[in-house]
């Protein structure tokens, strides 16, 4: 069946990354836009990680490092350490991703397209990261064309539509009409929105 796509809020959630090399950096860069509270645990870290300003514990991993942690990225170059981290996380019901080892992952990183409050994730279940990347780029292109403005308008008038139209079917029709205008490049103002609402009221 593959992986269930679950969007969760990780802002300020405690997250540790075990390992301080290029692989750890790659995962760190994916997480940073979503603002978790990240601590990197490794005796040494690469300069790029250091420049991000995240917290660093210059030491080897210990089981007590998992206390109170929400999520773990195991990205060391030591397979035995990664296996230990994975086992401990399973025992404590902590979300864990072991880089480049699908069998030791409680979750995987999708290819993420994110802009202007819109986030889309693509996964092939680990079968082809290259294909996931290709699809992500296609989605990013769609967002760049009209996605951000469309999301803003749909969100801006959501309360107005729901307050003026009591029937769920009418609300759905109003949102469909607004969306159709947006994707055709005719971004509606409040006057047009109210016209759509009145037409549905008087149908």
Name the helix (H) or strand (E) containing 178: helix 168-183
Per-block average pLDDT, block size 10, for the chain (203 residues)? 83 97 94 95 95 96 97 95 96 94 89 80 84 89 75 89 92 93 88 92 82
Q: Within a 13 Å sphere around the CA of 157, how many CA atoms are in the beta-carbon half?
A: 28
Tokens matching residue 146 = 């009209």
Cα(76)–Cα(17) distance, integer angstroms: 9
CA 166 from centroid of its chain's CA atoms: 33
For the CA atoms of 168, 172, 178, 180, the dihedral, rounded to the nearest 10 degrees, stands at -170
What is residue 146's predicted lDDT score, i.e. its pLDDT? 66
Q: Which domains does the chain have, with CATH numbers?
A: 14-109 (3.40.50.720), 157-201 (no CATH)
């Amino acid at each position: 069946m593959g992986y269930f796509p679950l969007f969760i809020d990780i802002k300020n959630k405690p997250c540790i990354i075990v390992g301080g090399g290029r692989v750890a950096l790659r995962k760190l860069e994916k997480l940073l836009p979503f603002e978790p509270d990240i601590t990197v645990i490794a005796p040494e870290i690469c300069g790029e990680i250091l420049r991000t300003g995240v917290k660093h514990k210059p030491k080897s991993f210990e089981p007590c490092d998992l206390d109170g942690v929400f999520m773990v990225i195991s990205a060391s170059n030591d397979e035995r350490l990664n296996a230990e981290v994975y086992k401990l996380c399973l025992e404590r019901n902590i979300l864990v991703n072991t880089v480049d080892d699908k069998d030791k992952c409680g979750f995987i990183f999708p290819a993420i397209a994110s802009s202007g409050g819109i986030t889309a994730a693509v996964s092939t279940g680990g079968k082809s990261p290259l294909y996931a990347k290709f699809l992500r780029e296609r989605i990013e292109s769609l967002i760049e064309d009209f996605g951000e403005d469309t999301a803003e308008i749909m969100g801006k008038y959501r309360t107005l539509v729901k307050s003026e139209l009591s029937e769920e079917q009418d609300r759905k029709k109003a949102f469909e009409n607004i969306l159709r205008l947006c994707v055709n490049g005719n971004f509606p103002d409040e006057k047009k929105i109210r016209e759509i609402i009145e037409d549905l009221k008087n149908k």
